[in-house]
A and B are shown apart, each in its own frame.
Chain A
Amino acid sequence: MKDFLAMGGYAPYVWGSYLVMAALLVLEMVQLRHRRRNLTRWLKRIARLAEQEETR
Chain B
Amino acid sequence: MADRGIQWFRFTAPANFYDLSGRLIPWFAALTVALFAVGLYLGLVVAPPDYQQGDSYRIIYIHVPTAWMGMFLYVLMAVYAAIGLIWRIKMAEVMAKAIAPTGALFTFLALWTGALWGRPTWGVYWVWDARLTSMLILLFLYLGYMALHAAIDDRQRASSASAVLAMVGVVNVPIIYFSVQWWNTLHQGASITVTEAPTMATIMFVTLLIMTLASWMYAIAVVLARARIELLERERNARWVQERMEERP
Enumerate chain A interface residues (CB-CB to B < 8 A): 4, 7-10, 12-14, 16-18, 20-21, 24-25, 28-29, 32, 35-36, 39-40, 43-44, 46-48, 50-51
Please give me the residue from chain A that is nearest to B49 by CB atom.
A8
Q: 5 tightest A-B contacts by CB? A: A8-B55, A10-B56, A47-B245, A17-B113, A7-B55
Interface members, chain B 51-78 (any A CB < 8 Å): 54-56, 58-59, 62-63, 66
Judged by a CB distance under 8 angstroms, whether B196 is at the interface is no
List 16 additional A-B contacts (Cβ < 8 Å) besides A10-B120, A12-B116, A32-B222.
Answer: A8-B54, A13-B116, A13-B119, A13-B120, A14-B55, A14-B116, A16-B116, A17-B113, A20-B112, A24-B105, A24-B108, A25-B105, A36-B225, A36-B228, A43-B245, A51-B246
- A43 proximity list for chain B (CB < 8 A): 232, 236, 241-242, 245
Q: Which residues of chain A come closer than 8 Å to B232, judged between CB atoms?
A: 39-40, 43
Question: A45 CA to B35 CA in the complex, in Å?
Answer: 39
Assembled-state Cα–Cα distance A22/B58 (Å): 15
Question: Chain B interface: which size bin?
Answer: 35 or more
Q: Which residues of B contact A (CB under 8 A)?
A: 40, 44-45, 49, 54-56, 58-59, 62-63, 66, 101-102, 105, 108-109, 112-113, 116-117, 119-120, 218, 222, 225-226, 228-229, 232-233, 236, 241-242, 245-246, 249
Complex CA distance for A1 and B172, rounded to whole angstroms: 43
Q: Which chain A positions have C-beta within 8 A of B242? A: 43, 46-47, 50
| B163 to A: closest C-beta gap in Å | 23
Tally A-B pairs: CB < 8 A. Answer: 86
Chain B residue contacts of A10, Cβ below 8 A: 54-56, 120
**Residue of A at shortest CB range from B218?**
A25
Give the Cβ gap from A51 to chain B, nearest Cβ, in Å. 7
Which residues from chain A contact B119 at a C-beta distance below 8 Å? Answer: 13
Set of chain A residues within 8 Å of B56, measured between Cβ atoms: 7-8, 10, 13-14
B218 contacts which chain A residues (CB < 8 A)?
25
Q: Which residues of A contact B113 (CB under 8 A)?
A: 17, 20-21
Given contacts A8-B49, A13-B56, A29-B222, contact A21 B62 (CB under 8 A): yes
